[in-house]
Amino acid sequence: MNDKKRVAGRKAVEWVRSGMVLGLGTGSTTYHALERIGELCGEGFDLVGIPTSNGTEELALRFGIPLTSLDDVRRIDLTIDGADEVDPQLRLVKGMGGALLREKIVASASKEVIIAVDDSKLVDVLGTKSPLPVEVVRFGHKRTKEAIESLGCTAELRGKESPFVTDTGNYIYDCRFMKIDRPEELEKDLSLIPGVVENGLFVGLASRVVIATDKGVTVRERHQD
């Protein structure tokens, strides 16, 4: 499995060009992309990255990738990230790494988003393998949980008695739906709940998905209307 993650992560970097501003995702597959980007910097590529988590920032610095902030650039040319689920329309569930808020901000500011995964992340319908992470403010989070569950899921606080705290100081509820067959609607419904900061549905953001399998690598592209 780790070999496939490495293949997918490094393959995604083939779209990187010198002079780009890069969004740097978070997760085990993205680790290999960061490693390769660092190699390109060592080879003379003029690149600068915007990390989506504190952990990614540490890795980028270790690999020699120059960093900047989103507020200091006019655009992000390309973001490379992973995903927890990918459906046939290239809609995603993300956030099991705990960085979904910054990941979505960076992806939304990017001209192109490439998602690198192994084939275990492919699903016919979202929500069938992974829970949906929903980031919430800590104040009144149990009330927020009740509102989330009214949408048809079971929500569990990540970390339970010792809650996981995101880099931005929030909690995450991992929400189990039987299936998410209308992710566009659910994304909107979740965003209307007071206390919800962001959710892990990434709809219409992935430009390409790089998929590593036992037989090699395939690339799927989202067809824009």
Phi, psi of 193 (to 5 degrees): -80, 120
Annotated catalytic, 103? yes
Token pair 């206390």 is found at 195
Contacts of 191 (CB under 8 A, 6+ apart): 198, 199
Helix (H, G, I), strand (E, B) or coil at 191: helix
Contacts of 2 (CB under 8 A, 6+ apart): 28
**CA of 79: how far to CAs of 88, 151, 215, in Å?**
20, 31, 26
Phi, psi of 223 (to 5 degrees): -90, 120
Catalytic residue, candidates 103, 135, 187, 198: 103
Helix (H), strand (E) counts: the chain: 6, 13
Contact 83, 94 (CB under 8 A): yes
* Largest Cα–Cα separation, the chain: 53
Q: Could you list the active site residues?
A: 103
